[in-house]
Amino acid sequence: MNSVENAAITLLGPQRRPALDKVVGALGLTGPFATITAGWLERESAEDRELAAHLGEEAVNLTLWARMQDVLEGDPEFAAAYRRRHEVIAEMQDLYLLCVGHTVAAIDEIKAQSERNPHVRELALRDAEAVLRQLDRRHLERLREVHAAFYAEMRPHEREPIAAHREAVAELLGQAEAVVMPGGHVSELLDALHLFNVVPAGLGQRPIIAWSAGAMALTEKVVLFNDNASRGPRCPEVYDGGLGLLHDIVVFPSAHQRLRMADAERMAAMVRRFAPARCVPLDPGTRVAVAADGSLAPYSPVIGANGEMTTAGEFVG
């Protein structure tokens, strides 16, 4: 079998022109499948018919978003703590972005100092980039501290109906041959995945096919980005930790649409920022196979150290 057929996790580009049925066929999967569409929020179940059709109608939706709403409506104490955590995280994100914005502006200003000694200017640039990496690292650490404090205080495993939902989710996952995770709202998706314990329930023990926010949620570090936002460029920002099933990989769905991929210097700086993780673009038509040992298939697209597109097999960090 080739590397696609052996893949433990298969990452896809956006499915505007769905190729899921072909991928499922290439992987030799016949179902039953568990689908996780919590990122679609209230459309979670209402609009999953096309997804089920691509899976030969052998799909069971875990309905994590609906389960989350049931918890929030039935447990006011938990819901209040949930809202407080989101308020804290929103403030943290605002202030982190303020720091990132000033650091990126400083980097751009240093780059513009063309009259400076090139060696001295390069040293200053590397120092500023180190500050950026430190901001990313500390932000992610603090987010994890906030999440840990929330779960330690709320003890969800002792609360009904969370415990009942976890048990039901684990049972459905246990019956699935593979899991399919589309995109949507990444924050809601992450919340539901964490609350209902999908990793301890066995998510990583079966093949996973994911794209967009679903792919982002599988990584250790969820990065938001949009160089072409209508309100102006938005430099990449660390948004939260993911499930950690993909190690040393940062994924960028629709990269060629949302990043200035032609600006090699900018892309090279982004690669240095997130190293040793590899930056993996997930453009339409892309298929990336990740083996059980976490290795990327050699043909997988990655952004090289020089900011140009290359493959995992040719990547030199």
Please determine, for residue 7, whether its predicted confidence score (pLDDT) is greater than 80. Answer: no
- Mean pLDDT calculated for residue range 136-144: 97
Token duo for residue 20: 């899921």
Residues in CB range of 302: below 8 A, 6 or more apart = 278, 279, 280, 281, 296, 309, 310, 311, 312, 315
pLDDT class for 288, splitting at 50, 70, 90?
Answer: very high
pLDDT at residue 232, as a whole number:
67
- Mean pLDDT calculated for residue range 32-61: 91
Per-residue model confidence as pLDDT tens digits over 64-116: 999 999 999 999 999 999 999 999 999 999 999 999 999 999 999 999 999 99
Amino acid making up residue 231: R
pLDDT at residue 317, as a whole number:
67
What rounded mean pLDDT belongs to the chain? 92
CATH class of segment(s) 9-73+164-312: alpha beta
pLDDT class for 228, splitting at 50, 70, 90?
Answer: confident
Domain ranges (residues) in the chain? 9-73+164-312, 76-154
pLDDT at residue 16, as a whole number:
76
H/E run at residue 37: none
Per-residue model confidence as pLDDT tens digits over 206-226: 999 999 999 999 999 999 998
Amino acid making up residue 176: A
State the pTM of this model. 0.92
Query: CA-CA distance, 104 to 101, in Å (whole number)?
Result: 5
Widest pairwise Cα distance in the chain? 66
Query: CA-CA distance, 59 to 44, in Å (whole number)?
Result: 13
Query: CA-CA distance, 175 to 173, in Å (whole number)?
Result: 5
CB-based burial of residue 112 (10 Å sphere; 0-12 exposed, 13-18 middle, 19+ buried)? exposed
- Mean pLDDT calculated for residue range 181-200: 95
